[in-house]
């Protein structure tokens, strides 16, 4: 694990203002020390991406130079309170701000925001506040819908425990349609399988005065996201995500002026140890990783690469009977000297799931070999030790979506 350039540790009463500078790292010591995940149960996350422009160089002229990155952390924390999660720690780079949350992660770029939350969080309840922040604080034109919106999730393990508006896919689509005029909803995969996937996408109306889309028009718009969703984790591999740490009732004092990476609380220190031992640190060795080990079990990590917009995020709930892990990244596989199937094989090898699904969502300009390897015109994608049971390809505007589902091959 690569140590952060600088660390600040503080409690709720002595919080250091975060100015979102390059290469900063901040820990919310109070939330980290008192977080108890004993009752965590719903691993599958809700994932929202809201794009206000195709990249940071094509922001509307009325927006702040740094776009969403200009928003103070306190405003995001206010939004996250509506979602019912807290910030545990933060990595800031020149291109993005990566927040490790009590329930998964958030990534803030100048032109887009990615929010991923698990459990019974009410992710979409934070959407109106997000849109309001974009208009009021960053100067995004009022009354103009975002450039692109994506919302997705796996089928829930315990749907009856979800809260409005997440009680059903129908409710979620209705909620999203109330905010966006050009939305489309999809269900991908077998309904009678443990692995099917829901997607909602919306794009700004072509009649909008902002919709010149020069980056898209000349084919320069490149975007790719690989997501791996795993269930039925191998219990020997899942054991490394447990700990016997006792959760504190209160946070200890800390001196932010003398804090260093050696002063991390037990949750972050345990997370760093797991990151190294389980092998995640070797996947993208050029990244900085912020990770947390929950008590009595569970693990989250955000990885970022300096001077680029690339990230990866991992979340694990290892409990027997509802074990789950997810991996998501926009790091081009070629950067790590691998192809996308190599990345999938490596990640799956860490967790040993009995079933998993893979989604690759990419623009056609990206030309990732993964899509070609997964079309009907090419040999099937293969992962050693697993049998592919689904292969579905969608064409969605300028994107291609590939969905694969696998089951462990019986010995």
Count CB-CB contacts under 10 A for residue 245.
Answer: 14
Confirm whether 300 is a catalytic residue: yes
Torsions phi, psi for 121 (to 5 deg): -60, 150
Q: What secondary structure letter does DSSP report for 194?
A: S
Confirm whether 95 is a catalytic residue: no
Which are the contacts of 321, defined by CB distance < 8 A and separation ≥ 6? none
Catalytic hit among 42, 49, 227, 398: 42
Query: Which uninterrupted H or E stretch holds 232?
Result: none
Count CB-CB contacts under 10 A for residue 395.
Answer: 9
Alpha helix segments (H runs only) across 84-168: 127-136
How far, in Å, are 144, 197, 274 from residue 304 at the CA level?
A: 31, 26, 17
CB of 291 closer than 8 Å to CB of 271: yes
Alpha-carbon distance of 294 to 50, in angstroms, equals: 28
Catalytic hit among 10, 85, 118, 374: 118
Confirm whether 42 is a catalytic residue: yes
Alpha-carbon distance of 122 to 26, in angstroms, equals: 25
Alpha-carbon distance of 188 to 41, in angstroms, equals: 24
Catalytic hit among 102, 287, 300, 340: 300
Alpha-carbon distance of 23 to 8, in angstroms, equals: 12
Catalytic hit among 111, 315, 326, 407: 315
Q: Which two tokens stand for residue 391?
A: 């292969």
Alpha-carbon distance of 133 to 129, in angstroms, equals: 6
Confirm whether 297 is a catalytic residue: no
Confirm whether 145 is a catalytic residue: no
Catalytic hit among 30, 45, 103, 407: 45
Query: Which uninterrupted H or E stretch holds 274?
Result: helix 266-278
Q: Which two tokens stand for residue 317?
A: 């709930």
- Residues with catalytic function: 42, 45, 104, 118, 300, 315
């Amino acid at each position: 694990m690569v140590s952060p350039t600088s660390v600040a540790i503080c409690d709720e009463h002595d919080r250091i203002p975060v100015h979102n500078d390059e290469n900063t790292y901040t820990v919310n010591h109070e939330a980290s020390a008192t977080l108890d995940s004993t009752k965590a149960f719903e691993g599958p996350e809700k994932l929202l991406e809201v794009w206000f422009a195709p990249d940071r160089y094509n922001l509307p002229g009325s927006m702040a130079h740094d776009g969403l990155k200009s928003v103070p952390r306190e405003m995001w924390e206010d939004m996250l309170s509506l979602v019912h999660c807290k910030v545990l720690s933060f990595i800031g780079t020149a291109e993005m701000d990566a927040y490790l949350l009590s329930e998964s992660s958030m990534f803030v770029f100048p032109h887009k925001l990615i929010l991923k939350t698990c459990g019974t969080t009410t992710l979409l309840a934070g959407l109106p506040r997000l849109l309001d922040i974009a208009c009021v604080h960053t100067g995004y034109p009022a009354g103009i819908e975002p450039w692109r919106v994506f919302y997705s999730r796996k089928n829930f393990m315990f749907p009856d425990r979800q809260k409005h508006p997440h009680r059903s896919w129908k409710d979620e689509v209705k909620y999203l349609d109330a905010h966006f005029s050009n939305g489309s909803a999809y269900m991908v995969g077998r309904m009678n399988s443990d692995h099917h996937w829901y997607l909602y996408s919306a794009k700004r109306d072509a009649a909008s005065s902002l919709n010149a889309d020069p980056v898209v028009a000349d084919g320069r718009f490149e975007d790719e996201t690989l997501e791996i969703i795993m269930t039925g984790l191998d219990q020997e591999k899942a054991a490394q995500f447990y700990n016997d740490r006792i959760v504190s009732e209160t946070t200890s004092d800390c001196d932010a002026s003398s804090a260093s990476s050696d002063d991390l609380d037990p949750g972050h220190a345990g997370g760093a140890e797991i990151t190294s031992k389980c092998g995640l640190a070797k996947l993208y060795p050029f990244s900085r990783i912020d990770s947390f080990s929950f008590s009595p079990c569970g693990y989250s990590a955000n990885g970022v690469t300096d001077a680029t917009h690339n990230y990866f995020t991992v979340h694990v709930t290892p409990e027997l009977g509802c074990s789950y892990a997810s991996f998501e990244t926009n790091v081009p596989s070629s950067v790590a000297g691998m192809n996308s199937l190599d990345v999938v094989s490596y990640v799956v090898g860490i967790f040993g799931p009995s079933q998993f699904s893979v989604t690759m969502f990419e623009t056609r300009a990206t030309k990732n070999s993964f899509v070609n390897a997964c079309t009907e015109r090419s040999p099937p994608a293969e992962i050693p030790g697993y049998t592919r049971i689904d292969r579905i390809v969608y064409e969605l505007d300028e994107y291609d979506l590939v969905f694969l589902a696998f089951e462990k091959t019986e010995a």
